[in-house]
Amino acid sequence: MDLSNLTLVLRAALSHAPEERKAAEASLEQLQYTQQHLVRLLQIIVDGSCDMAVRQVASIHFKNFVSKAWSPIDETRKIPEGDKSMVRENILGFVTQLPPLLRAQLGESIKTLILADYPEQWPSLLHWVTHNMESQDQIFGALYVLRILSRSEEERIPLYQIVEECFPRLLNIFSTLVQIVNPPIEVADLIKLICKIFWSSIY
């Protein structure tokens, strides 16, 4: 299903008419494992010209499907590997483009991906974080992802590499931010994120 038709199905899932809503939900269920479905959902989530309610439905559907199918128990029902690769390549850069409501849903999905794929299937993740900590446009996204990484309660071993690579830079960024006189709210958000990262890492 192409992008415009998928948008129509997602809009129908918001319908007040039970029959229309159930038909849309059944269509989404059928489409889940088809090629490019997950990628198209991600495109709708980040499309600023799309209706916010539709983007929200897309983000919830994306989060729920990723949670259920990213590491499937049933090997016959899998997300196509090409789609998984495209999601990994693009999802991180979208964090800063989204309003908080959608970012929270995407953050849950990123957490699922990290727990399943890092570091074996996603070795470039930490490089993306360290590289974008130096970028004015992407620093929030880098810190946001680092916060998710540092909150992992599954296996703490990769955390030592994260601390080694990121903490000296974090300290420099933090020192610079706290010296800004009359900082805007965006700076306060960054300081808060860094404090949360330090806290999660030593928890």
Identify whether the C-beta of residue 186 lies closer than 8 Å to the C-beta of residue 141.
no
State what percent of residues in the chain have pLDDT above 90.
75
Q: Is it the case that residue 203 has pLDDT exceeding 90?
A: no
Q: Is it the case that residue 73 has pLDDT exceeding 80?
A: no
State which H helix or E strand residue 84 sits in: helix 81-94
Q: What is the mean pLDDT of residues 160-189?
A: 92
pTM: 0.89
Identify whether the C-beta of residue 33 lies closer than 8 Å to the C-beta of residue 79.
yes
What local confidence, expressed as pLDDT, does residue 201 receive? Answer: 84
The ranges assigned to domains in the chain are 1-117, 137-203
Q: Is it the case that residue 152 has pLDDT exceeding 90?
A: no
What local confidence, expressed as pLDDT, does residue 45 receive? Answer: 97
Per residue in 78-136, pLDDT (tens digit) is 899 999 999 999 999 998 899 999 999 999 999 999 989 988 899 999 999 999 998 88
Identify whether the C-beta of residue 58 lies closer than 8 Å to the C-beta of residue 45.
yes
What local confidence, expressed as pLDDT, does residue 102 receive? Answer: 95
Residue that has been written with the tokens 């446009």 in this structure = 137
Q: Is it the case that residue 157 has pLDDT exceeding 60?
A: no
SS3 label, residue 134: coil
